[in-house]
């Protein structure tokens, strides 16, 4: 059996999920059951009992995930059997029926090849003759600090192309010696639409989870022929289905574990012919629209997504109702989600893909979906960034930094924003920097 904590089942009609107790956690690698990145130690280095945790590892006090207590069989036995995690119904779109088209073992094969080889029968591409894809890749070696993530740029419009005009992107490894770059991303674009995604992994196998979802998510969306007629529903279903397929993949292959590892996911669908943007997300990889003010003199930031933080009132109520706790440990920075009476998973977000051990604490993969009508005369560009940017830079500051350039400077602007994010981390934390991903997408390039 793979290392995934829970096995998920799905009712395809109304997407009601249930979890079954699975004893595979006792077989997890030591890197999971004896989690080395332990923020809950006192300043002298000794572990304390649950009620006595009073200080955190200073180096990890701003990072996304924490976990201190080893996860053992007695913890797993506390999990209720067959308990519903959440419901995600499509009662408002009765014509939408989720598509089933691939088995877990064939998830990634040929997806980008089909896209870039103009197989219009595989993707609903319309009359698009040019297409471009840029995707992150797992590194095959240890990466240096602030090194760019390996990437694959393919398509019949790659290189210095018209489709790349007005798009800038950066994905850099942070200053976290114990882990590789756990951020990931994709950019898919034709003349008629653009699909963009940013994923911020966390936990021992966060880089594997974010890379898996980065590959699977666009396939789930674009292979569904209903994405043009019911884009919100297709995006919603893609998040939930990707979470299920992640767990199936782990159980089938035993390549990595997702019980204490997961990822944020922010996906933006841009439909320029309709002047429309659809934003779907879980977690805190924020997307921001830059819109000219009424005076036309300054660009103002409009958040397209709202960070899923556990201390927001609605998320906190949902977490408590699910049996979780929201607390901030002395010396820590963010509020985190814990299983009641336990010191894990310690997530600084309330929604994520993966993190199956957190289901009983209210961690869910269900996205928020927001639709925005673009005003071509006012709306300049979109930013999608991991929280390596947003930890110390506000939405308005990020817009101001990028606005110093123009659409022809999109790549330089993305690099400038990433460098400023890095500088702020060093200034505030000294020897810790989160991974940093930036996408700059001009709407009129």
Task: Give the residue numbers spanning the domain of 296.
Answer: 108-119+127-303+367-440
Give phi and psi for 268, each to the nearest 5: -115, 125
User: Percentage of residues in the chain with pLDDT exceeding 90?
Assistant: 62
Mean pLDDT on 133-137:
94
Residue 369 has pLDDT above 70, yes or no: yes
Q: DSSP letters along 52-110, please?
A: G-----GGGTTSS----SPP-HHHHHTSPTT-EEEE---TT-TT--------GGGSSTT
Task: Specify the CATH number for the domain of residue 243.
Answer: 3.60.40.10
Q: Convert the pLDDT of each residue in 200-215 to its tens digit.
A: 999 999 999 999 999 9
Q: How far apart are the first and last CA of the chain?
A: 50
What is the predicted pLDDT for the residue at 425? 96
Residue 78, SS3?
coil
Least confident of 29-33, 140-144, 195-199: 29-33
The per-residue pLDDT for 108 is 43
Q: Does residue 385 sit within a domain?
A: yes
**Digit-coded pLDDT (tens) for 258-286:** 999 999 999 999 999 999 999 999 999 99
User: Distance between CA atoms of 329 and 243, rounded to whole angstroms?
Assistant: 29
Task: Enter the pTM of the model.
Answer: 0.81
User: Could you tell me the two tokens for 400?
Assistant: 């101001």
pLDDT tens, position by position, 110-127: 455 565 555 544 455 555
For the chain, the domain total comes to: 1
Token code pair at residue 88:
């995600």
Ramachandran sector of residue 354 (left: φ over 0; alpha: ψ -120 to 50; beta: rest): left
User: What is residue 143's predicted lDDT score, i.e. its pLDDT?
Assistant: 86
In a domain, 382, yes or no: yes
Is residue 154 included in any domain, yes or no? Answer: yes
How far apart (Å, rounded) are the C-alpha atoms in residues 267 and 254? 27
Indicate whether 102 belongs to any domain. Answer: no
Pairing of strands 299-303, 287-292: antiparallel
Residues of the chain with pLDDT > 70, as a percent, come to 70
Does residue 404 have a pLDDT over 50?
yes
| pLDDT score of 240 more than 80 | yes
Closest listed residue to residue 358, CA positions, set 376, 374, 343: 343
Instruction: Check whether the bond before 345 is cis (ω within 30° of 0).
Output: yes
For the segment 216-237, what is each residue's pLDDT rounded down to a tens digit?
999 999 999 899 999 999 999 9
Look at residue 320 and tell me if it is in a domain.
Answer: no
| 338 in a structural domain | no
Does any domain span residue 228?
A: yes
pLDDT at 27: 30
Instruction: Give dist(CA 82, CA 374) in Å, integer.
Output: 44
Q: What is the mean pLDDT of the chain?
A: 79
Q: Hey, what are 384's tokens?
A: 């999608």
| Domain-located, residue 18 | no
């Amino acid at each position: 059996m793979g290392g995934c904590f829970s096995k998920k089942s799905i009712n395809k009609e109304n997407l009601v999920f249930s979890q079954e107790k699975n004893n595979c956690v006792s077989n997890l690698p030591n890197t999971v059951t004896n989690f080395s990145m332990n923020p809950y130690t006192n300043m002298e280095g000794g572990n304390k009992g649950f009620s006595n945790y009073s200080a955190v590892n200073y180096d990890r006090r701003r990072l996304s995930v924490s976990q201190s207590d080893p996860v053992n069989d007695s913890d797993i036995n506390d999990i209720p059997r067959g308990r519903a995690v959440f419901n995600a119904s499509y009662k408002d779109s009765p014509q939408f029926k989720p598509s089933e088209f691939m088995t877990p073992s064939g998830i990634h094969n040929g997806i980008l090849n089909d896209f870039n080889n103009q197989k219009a029968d595989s993707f609903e591409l319309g009359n698009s003759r040019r297409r471009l894809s840029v995707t992150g890749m797992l590194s095959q070696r240890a990466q240096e600090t602030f090194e760019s993530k390996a990437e694959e740029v393919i398509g019949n419009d790659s290189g210095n192309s018209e489709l790349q005009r007005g798009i800038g992107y950066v994905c850099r490894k942070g200053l976290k010696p114990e882990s590789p770059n756990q951020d990931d991303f994709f950019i898919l674009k034709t003349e008629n639409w653009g699909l963009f995604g940013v994923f911020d992994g966390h936990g021992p196998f966060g880089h594997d989870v974010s890379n898996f979802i980065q590959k699977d998510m666009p396939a789930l969306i674009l292979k569904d022929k209903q994405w043009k007629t019911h884009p919100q529903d297709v995006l919603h279903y893609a998040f939930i289905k990707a979470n299920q397929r992640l767990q199936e993949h782990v159980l089938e292959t035993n390549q990595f574990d997702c019980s204490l590892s997961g990822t944020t996911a922010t996906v933006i669908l841009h439909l320029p012919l309709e002047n429309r943007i659809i934003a779907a997300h879980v977690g805190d990889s924020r997307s921001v629209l830059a819109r000219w003010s009424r005076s036309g003199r300054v660009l103002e930031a409009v958040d397209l997504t709202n960070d899923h933080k556990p201390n927001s009132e609605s998320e906190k109520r949902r977490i408590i109702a699910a049996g979780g706790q929201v607390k901030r440990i002395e010396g820590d920075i963010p509020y985190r989600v814990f299983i009641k009476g336990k010191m894990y998973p310690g997530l600084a977000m309330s929604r994520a893909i993966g993190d199956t051990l957190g289901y009983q604490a209210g961690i869910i993969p269900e996205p928020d979906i927001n639709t925005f009508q673009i005003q071509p005369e006012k709306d300049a560009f979109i930013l999608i960034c991991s929280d390596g940017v947003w930890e110390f830079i506000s939405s308005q500051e990020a817009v101001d930094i990028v606005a110093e350039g123009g659409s022809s400077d999109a790549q330089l602007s993305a690099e400038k924003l990433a460098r400023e994010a890095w500088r702020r981390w060093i200034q505030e934390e000294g020897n810790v920097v989160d991974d940093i991903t930036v996408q700059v997408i001009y709407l009129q390039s």
